[in-house]
């Protein structure tokens, strides 16, 4: 009897197969590059050729604003399509981060369990219990709770009298030393930046964002960017 269950697509395959996402990404990238080219070179648009008629542009000052509005519109649409995939990527690096931050281990000499997750465990959670079932279903999540504020959320998925044990998140900035708290933030940044290498799909999704960001910066700091381009061209020709 053959198994007709369809093979589950990888995240990369899902992204590549999302035609609407790919189409919006290309449109956003091309329009942003044109926008940046106009800002950096000072090029003007004399006529806009539509499928019905030609439009002669007489107010060149309005062109950057029109580009900006068009880019922002496409950026919002692209974000709505890319967001579900970004969440999956965030979940992947968050799982790796949680495994590092809240690793626990058993001492072979005394049989006791140790680790940062046990030191921080709130009342009602039994990670240091000799019963493996008490640890098996406990999930620990590193959470963003504010600007430079982080906490640890413990959830025990073993139902006890039909109720899951979920104490209030543990505020890390109150429970650990400044040195250890800075280690938490450093490790978070390491895994987040490392996800651009570990999760190659992130670069695929972020490409249009990066190009759009440069285009918007060239609009906001037009003279500075033009001067930078002149300097780079001068260095290249010398």
pLDDT digits (tens, 9 = 90+) for 181-204: 999 999 999 999 888 888 888 888
CB 75 within 8 A of CB 57: no
How many residues are listed for the chain in this entry?
Answer: 238
Q: Which phi-psi region, left, alpha or beta, contains residue 176 (left: φ > 0; alpha: ψ -120 to 50)?
A: beta
Whether 3 maps to a domain, the answer reads no
Judge if 123 and 110 occupy the same domain.
yes
Question: Which H/E stretch holds residue 113?
Answer: strand 113-115
Mean pLDDT score, 212-230: 86
Whether 178 maps to a domain, the answer reads yes
Structure tokens at 13: 């395959």
Whether 68 maps to a domain, the answer reads yes
CB 122 within 8 A of CB 106: no
Judge if 111 and 126 occupy the same domain.
yes
Whether 70 maps to a domain, the answer reads yes
58/206: higher pLDDT: 206
- pLDDT band of residue 146 (cuts 50, 70, 90) is confident
Judge if 146 and 169 occupy the same domain.
yes
pLDDT at residue 1 in the model: 45
Backbone φ, ψ for residue 56 (5° rounding):
-90, 125
Judge if 81 and 155 occupy the same domain.
no
Q: Would you say residue 162 has pLDDT above 70?
A: no
- DSSP class of 130: S
Judge if 167 and 223 occupy the same domain.
no
pLDDT at residue 163 in the model: 55
Range of 89's domain?
A: 11-98+200-232
Whether 4 maps to a domain, the answer reads no
pLDDT at residue 57 in the model: 60
Question: pTM of the predicted model, to two decimals?
Answer: 0.74
**Domain total in the chain:** 2
| Alpha helices, DSSP H, located in 7-136 | 11-17, 19-41, 62-101, 116-120, 133-136
Among 121-135, 157-171, 211-225, the range of highest mean pLDDT: 211-225
Judge if 91 and 32 occupy the same domain.
yes
Judge if 172 and 205 occupy the same domain.
no
Judge if 205 and 87 occupy the same domain.
yes
Judge if 54 and 93 occupy the same domain.
yes
Q: Would you say residue 171 has pLDDT above 50?
A: yes
- pLDDT band of residue 161 (cuts 50, 70, 90) is very low
Whether 23 maps to a domain, the answer reads yes
Judge if 184 and 140 occupy the same domain.
yes
- Tokens 């996800």, residue located: 195
Judge if 169 and 116 occupy the same domain.
yes
102 forms beta bridges with none
pLDDT at residue 135 in the model: 67
Judge if 159 and 92 occupy the same domain.
no
Whether 238 maps to a domain, the answer reads no
Percentage of the chain modeled with pLDDT above 90: 36
pLDDT digits (tens, 9 = 90+) for 30-75: 999 999 888 887 776 666 665 555 656 666 677 788 889 999 999 9
Task: List C-alpha distances in Å: 28 to 34, 39, 63, 221.
Answer: 10, 16, 17, 20
Among 5-14, 85-94, 132-141, the range of highest mean pLDDT: 85-94
- CA 125 to chain centroid: 31
Whether 237 maps to a domain, the answer reads no
CB 100 within 8 A of CB 93: no
């Amino acid at each position: 009897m053959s198994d007709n269950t369809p093979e589950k697509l990888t995240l990369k395959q899902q992204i590549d197969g999302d035609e609407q996402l790919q189409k919006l990404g290309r449109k956003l990238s091309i329009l942003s590059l044109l926008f940046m080219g106009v800002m950096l070179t000072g090029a003007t648009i004399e006529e806009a050729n539509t499928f019905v008629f030609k439009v002669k542009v007489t107010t060149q000052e309005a062109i950057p604003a029109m580009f900006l509005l068009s880019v922002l519109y496409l950026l919002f649409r692209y974000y709505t399509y890319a967001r579900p995939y970004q969440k999956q990527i965030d979940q992947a690096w968050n799982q790796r981060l949680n495994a590092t931050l809240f690793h626990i281990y058993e001492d072979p000499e005394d049989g006791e369990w140790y680790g940062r997750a046990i030191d921080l465990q709130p009342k009602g959670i039994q990670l240091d219990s000799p019963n493996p079932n008490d640890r098996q279903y406990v999930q620990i999540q590193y959470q963003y709770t504010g600007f430079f504020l982080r906490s640890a959320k413990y959830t025990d998925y073993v139902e006890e009298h039909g109720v899951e044990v979920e104490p209030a998140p543990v505020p890390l900035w109150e429970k650990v030393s400044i040195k250890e708290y800075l280690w938490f933030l450093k490790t978070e940044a390491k895994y987040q930046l490392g996800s651009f290498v570990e999760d190659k799909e992130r670069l695929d999704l972020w490409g249009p964002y990066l190009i759009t960001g440069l285009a918007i910066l060239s609009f906001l700091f037009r003279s500075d960017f033009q001067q930078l381009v002149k300097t780079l061209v001068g260095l290249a020709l010398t």
